[in-house]
Chain A
Amino acid sequence: MVQLPVWTAIAPTVILALTVLLLLVVDSINPDEDSGNLLAVMAVIGTVTSIAVTGWYLLAGTGQPPTDPVLLFADAIVVDGMSLFFTALVGSVVVLIVLASYDYLADHPYQAEYYSLVMLAATGMSLMASANSLATAFVSLELASLPSFALVASLKHNRGSVEAGLKYFLIGALSSAVFAFGISLVFAAGGSLGFADVAAAAADTSLPGVLGLGILFVAGGFAYKTASVPFHFWAPDAYEGAPSPISAFLSSASKAAGFVLLFRVFVEAFPQTAVAGTIDWVLAFQVLAVVTMTVGNFAAATQENVKRMLAYSSVGHAGYVLIAVAALTTDANRSFVLGSGMAHLLVYGFMNTGAFLFIALTEYWDVGRTFEDFNGLAKQAPFACAAMTVFLFSLAGLPFGGGFLSKFYLLMASVNGGVLLLAVALVVNSALSLYYYSRVVRAMWLEEPDGTLEIQGYPTGLYAAIAVAAVMTVLLLPAFGPVAEMANAAASAIV
């Protein structure tokens, strides 16, 4: 068997980056022609190739036990089970987004820019999954953020979109400065940026206070990226104002990328044993997880606007995933706890993307955004509404999709970590979330339409994306076991 050169381990990310360049070249050769078709097809092909290579590496065991993780560029980048898992996740979301955008942006004047920015952000997110030094972490986080700012504001004549872009940018710029300052304090305490070196230097630093403050600031940067308390308040405005496919992209792929970096930085660079004298970050995340869940779900319950409700529910889900680090106590089964968070992010990637794409579909039809506007929608679009029902019940944690099992695993993880408060908060919040999710379902299926709504056309791309997301959400119910096993194996390599 031919042995590939070592650098090819990062091929999935390189393919995404090459797709960006190719899109820009095609646009510069042929800028005037309405080439939305070609661009969307190219973006899908590039992403599917990247997913295929990732899948191949996952199956071939690249960088996974029993072999060592593949380290590239003087240990700045690592390829292991976790990075491949999240690269596949980001790629899958991007395929759905591009399929949906094809219809959503049918008369958008800047298609090439839009698709290149999506792919550029995806490159940054997959690089975040592979970062092995705080320098790579910062650069890849910015590479994911900067295109996202432009994408949120990409409907230049829509005041909501511009306002959302502004708020996203302001909080993003602020939190990236906080993140950079945190990294500089960690560097001041240890004199290195690689995760392993930071962990080694942390144990006998002469500046424990500075290190502790640095860790807190770094956590703040991640709270922004994952839309967790205390940096969550941009999320409802940004998700509501952004074009819906972009809301889907940010709330699933971007959040997942933020979480993988959070997992890696805190488990590898700031292990509890090394930073024991400075800060107990497990306790900090326990507080953040409970507060994030509660804030997200209670705010979601009071919304009148479905998209804004989904935005707050996305904050709530960030709280659920935080359990993966909050329950990471010393006597827990650490790979199981971390793996449960990873598996939940994968399921969430499909069900949440699907739910936001359904909103994109209603915007395409000009249905309106409040719960009442959805009344009787199922009579005209039964398939899309059935898919939405699956997404919402899966998000709530009912056994309609993988969301049931992934939440159950998170519950087991919080019990395993011995933090019963987290388990209670998870159950209470899930019960609450069922109330506002079922409001949408009731409006779609049980309420009578007011008769003025006439749906024009059934856009193929959007329907295809919603169908794929629904099928994956349902399939992840029976297939959750192997997925969770894969996630646990990937997590066991770093804890």
Chain B
Amino acid sequence: MAIQPQFYLLLSAGVFCAGLFGVLTRSNALMFLMSVELMLNAANINFVAFSFYYGNVTGQVFSLFVMGLAAAEVAVGIGIILVLYRNFGDIDVTGPVTMRR
């Protein structure tokens, strides 16, 4: 392996933190979804890199599952964001606070 595995850990940690930063700072629901996607892909980097490192395909196959589930999650999420827009006229996630008194 040309690149040491710890660099992959650093890369994935960086991508994960970028996603987490987006989740915490963005109030647009679509930006939130993209940030979550970054965090999931950080996991995928680890899976693929260490799958190669350990010489098995477990991690590679699992990363395919993660991608599939991420797509399913976005599909449900877009549906919820759509009804959010219809009810509140905006996709700002900090907007709906009808239950907080």
Contacts and interface: CB of A to CB of B under 8 A. Distances in A.
A156 B29 CA distance: 18
B80 interface: yes
A439 interface: no
Interface stretch (A20-28, A55-63, A187-195, A270-278): A187-195
B98 A142 contact: no
B76 A170 contact: no
B73 A176 contact: yes
A187 B46 contact: yes
A173 B33 contact: yes
B83 A153 contact: yes
Interface string B23-60: 10000010011001001101111110110011010110
Contact of A162 (B9, B44, B50, B83): B83
B73 A142 contact: yes
Contacts of B93: 166, 170
Interface stretch (A178-186, A293-301, A411-419): A178-186
Interface residue tally on B, bucketed by range: 35 or more
Contacts of B80: 149-150, 153, 162, 165-166, 169
A149 B84 CA distance: 13
A160 B47 contact: no
A146 B76 contact: yes
Contacts of B65: 135, 138-139
Contacts of A165: 80, 83
Contacts of B44: 184
B87 interface: yes
B11 interface: no
B58 to A, nearest CB: 6
Nearest to A147: B76
Contacts of A138: 62, 65-66, 69
B63 to A, nearest CB: 9
Interface string A152-169: 010011011011111001
Nearest to A168: B80
Interface of A: 135, 138-139, 142, 146, 149-150, 153, 156-157, 159-160, 162-166, 169-170, 173-174, 176-178, 180-181, 183-185, 187-188, 191-193, 210, 236-237, 240-241, 308
